[in-house]
Amino acid sequence: MSVQLHRTIQTFASSIIRKPKCSLIDKNKKLNELSKLGQTDEARKLFDKMPERDEFTWTTMVAAYANGGRLVEARQVFQEVPTKSSITWSSLICGYCKHGFEIEGFELFWQMQSEGHMPSQFTLGSILRMCAIKGLLSRGEQIHGYAIKTCFDINVFVMTGLIDMYAKSKRVLEAECIFQIMSHGKNHVTWTAMINGYSLNGDALRAIQCFSNMRAEGIEANQYTFPGVLSSCAALSDIRFGVQVHGCIVNGGFEANVFVQSSLIDMYCKCEDLHSAKKALKQMEVNHAVSWNSMILGYVRNGLPEEALSLFEKMYASDMEVDEFTYPSVLNSLACMQDTKNGICLHCLVVKTGYESYKLVSNALIDMYAKQEDLTCAINVFNSMVEKDVISWTSLVTGCAHNGFYEEALKLFYEMRMAETKPDQIIIASVLSSCSELALLELGQQVHGDFIKSGLEASLSVDNSLMTMYANCGCLEDAKKVFNSMQMHNVISWTALIVAYAQNGKGKESLRFYEEMIASGIEPDFITFIGLLFACSHTGLVDDGKKYFASMKKDYGIRPSPDHYACMIDLLGRAGKIQEAEKLVNEMDIEPDATVWKALLAACRVHGNTDLAEKASMALFQLEPQDAVPYVMLSNIYSAAGKWENAAKLRRKMNLKGLNKEPGYSWIEMNGVVHTFISEERSHTKSDEIYSKLEDVIALIKEAGYVADTNFSLHDINEEGRERSLSYHSEKLAISFGLLYVPKGVPIRIYKNLRVCGDCHNAMKFVSRVFDRHIILRDSNCFHHFKEEICSCGDYWHQLPLPGIREITGLILRNIFVSVKSGSDDPGESYVLHDHLMSFPTQELVAIPPPVCFSVASIWLYGPEEKHMLLNKMEAGISDQDLQQDYGTGLKGTFSFV
């Protein structure tokens, strides 16, 4: 055989041997292409037809199933692999990690090592990525330890995964340490992970600095870097740097990327540059729902719901794809507009397009209906949800609280806890607000305790709600403790403190807190001034009230609202300046509403001005024809003035209109149970004991000098019946229950839906001294803290600036007055300076018209802490016996300013 022939035969034989190998490579290439395209079934058909398979073939088929989420089939193929390599193990592990099966992923990871296979950098990277997404910090720390042990901690891919994992687990310090350790080898992915880590954890300034350092190092950013930087610019409202980043985006050619463009629009919107945001949207080559969603949301955030709705209509008309992120923003805009009709239409569209089952959309629907005060629809959407998250519960609970359905809000919160859903700060604030409105101190304290145990970070909204809850339950010291513990205060915090002290009879402290607020650099808002005017009204600070009222517009540009005018009228009415109050109403630059006229009508009742009362009532009859309050108030004014026919005529008119006076009731919360009392009702299980105790209470306080003031009972029954009616008021039933069941030394907390009547107020003072109890009564107006026969309101509760003879005598007996002297310029008349007038810098004297039983004058020196003791009564010609006798007679004089 010739040499040439021999060579030819060898070449032919070699080609025969190599041909199957080339065929396997081609088929593996085709298999890999099908796998990457997601055509798993086509890949399986090819896989089954392959007569010969190598490691690449098996690994590719495992990866195809694993990446497509078909993990059972991936596991089956994996079990059939003749010889498993590290790459094969990694393919299966990565599949489990990608689809969130952390338990199986970690089991395979440890099993892989037990069988002698070392994981690759991609295996560790996949596991770390899963830990980052699912918040598996402890698992991620285990992988970190393994990486250190196996020297993977110097691998850029693994270290970048660790930075991302720690950053997304809110452990920025650890992420930063790893980043700093990488002295070299940082690529754009590493820098991006650190930038996004800062941004995600609210450290926008450091994110921007990190981006600047990255640029200085010559590392180019990509489409994954810019969203984090732009988000940080938005958080800082740093539009100048945002514009610079925009320039980098254009220069890098990333302006066409939909996620970059959406982040850019979002940044401009949050920086309130809607013109640039709209320009960026118009410059997009291809319209995409993500960018349009950002623009719609931007309009909503900037208070332009109409523009948001208009853009949505254009989006829908252009057949652009509307997704689960579009609807929430549009629903929010309709909620802001109170557009009920279009809200229902959009709900129908949501159902039609099949997005009702998406939690994000359902939560937005609940929020919209709640803000439109349609709680029935909100509850229906909530009940239809298969799976509810904390946002679902928060939307409904907050909606109930904001619409005044406080009990429903608390019931839902209880159901939420039973469903083992952890609350967030928003729902805690709403629940505390509900406890505040219902004056449920014990429940509020439980929620406070649960919040501390939960480990949730403190927030301004929760702290402010906590402070308001304690204040509204009469726990002023606890409210102040919460305020002092807050790391920062805003105008709401200061206003809550000002109002709290004002409502609890400490008006001067309220004004002091206002000055501290101004000194801290925080400007007041319109609610702050309501609190200030309320404080001035309840402490007789007329001049201060006028000063603050003028300061609103002059110093802060706040136009007085009807509520502010009502406070001023209340202030002037309490001070006896009824004509000035009427003048203020007539000179208002806005139309007086019902609040203003009610304040004027209340002042008329105190001072018996029937003509002005009729004028105020007529205005109220027009504004609120179905409200019984003005009818009742005017009827009481007629009765007090002896105009019985007018009062009877008004009551008949009420009956014809079907108007009924709101029934008064009081309640006490004890051991998680609310005990409610209605006048002369015996529905309580302990009513026999309560009424028996009340008889004893009335008898004891009468011995101490209490005399029933029948002016606060019905006028069309006899005197005995009127006194008996007074004895069974709801406040007295509540105090009887409190004396029976509230332990000694614990304050008795009573709450009433209406204003406390004058007789009950006086009775409470006697009960506090006779039984040595601290009584806290919250009515519809303010708090009354009764101690030793003194009320914190200073008897300003009924708008009378001064006490009668009976009250004065009692004050003298307890050494409240400074000195006593006989005689005056006018025979039979004496002058009294009551402790309520301490706030008047001129120390005005108040005349007591005859008849009087003694002559007395009171002068406060250096304030309440340094007052002179009562001088010898005998030197003034007043005996203890005379004082005691006068104290018991219940004589009452009418006071007026001199």
Residue 787 sits in the same domain as residue 807? no
CA angle 364, 367, 368 (to 5 degrees): 85
For 821-853, the DSSP string reads: ----SSTT-EEE--GGGGG-TT---EEEPSP-S
Q: Tell me the whole-structure pTM to 2 decimals.
A: 0.70
Alpha-carbon span 170 to 176, nearest angstrom: 11
Which residues have a Cβ under 8 Å from the Cβ of 404 and sit 6 or more positions away? 437
pLDDT under 70: residue ranges of the chain: 1-22, 710-723, 795-898
- Is the alpha carbon torsion for 153, 157, 158, 164 positive or negative? positive
Query: Partners of 777 in the beta sheet?
Result: 750, 784
Residue 775 backbone phi and psi in degrees, to 5 = -110, 130
| pLDDT for the residue 414 | 92
Q: Which residues of 880-890 are buried (b: 16+ CB within 10 A; e: fewer)?
A: eeebeebbbeb
Select from 730, 764, 794 the last residue of a domain: 794
| pLDDT for the residue 708 | 81
Instruction: Strand 748-752: give its sheet, edge to edge.
Output: 673-678, 665-670, 748-752, 775-778, 783-787, 790-791
Alpha helix stretches (DSSP H) within 486-540: 491-503, 507-519, 526-537
**Residue 199: domain span:** 186-281
CA angle 349, 355, 361 (to 5 degrees): 95
Residue 528 sits in the same domain as residue 646? yes
Residue 462 sits in the same domain as residue 588? yes
Alpha-carbon span 233 to 244, nearest angstrom: 10
Beta pairing, strands 775-778 & 748-752: parallel
Distances (CA, A) of 218 to 212, 214, 579: 10, 7, 78
Alpha-carbon span 524 to 551, nearest angstrom: 11
Q: What are the tens digits of pLDDT across the range 650-702?
A: 888 988 888 888 888 899 988 888 899 998 889 899 999 999 999 999 999 98
Which residues have a Cβ under 8 Å from the Cβ of 433 and sit 6 or more positions away? 401, 406, 465, 468, 469
Residue 218 placed within a domain:
yes
Residue 584 sits in the same domain as residue 615? yes
The token pair at 783 is 């708090």
Amino acid at site 646: N
| pLDDT for the residue 430 | 93
Number of independent structural domains in the chain: 4
| pLDDT for the residue 18 | 47
Tokens 């035969």, residue located: 9
Select from 256, 281, 306 the last residue of a domain: 281
| pLDDT for the residue 864 | 32
Q: What are the tens digits of pLDDT across the range 298-308?
A: 999 898 999 99
Kindly report the CATH number assigned to the domain that includes residue 770.
Answer: 3.40.140
Query: Partners of 677 in the beta sheet?
Result: 666
Residue 476 sits in the same domain as residue 612? yes
Select from 730, 760, 794 the last residue of a domain: 794
- Is the alpha carbon torsion for 4, 7, 8, 9 positive or negative? positive
Residue 520 sits in the same domain as residue 641? yes
Residue 776 sits in the same domain as residue 684? yes
Alpha-carbon span 889 to 883, nearest angstrom: 10
Residue 763 sits in the same domain as residue 679? yes
Torsion of CA 235, 239, 244, 246, to 10 degrees: 80
| pLDDT for the residue 25 | 82
| pLDDT for the residue 12 | 43
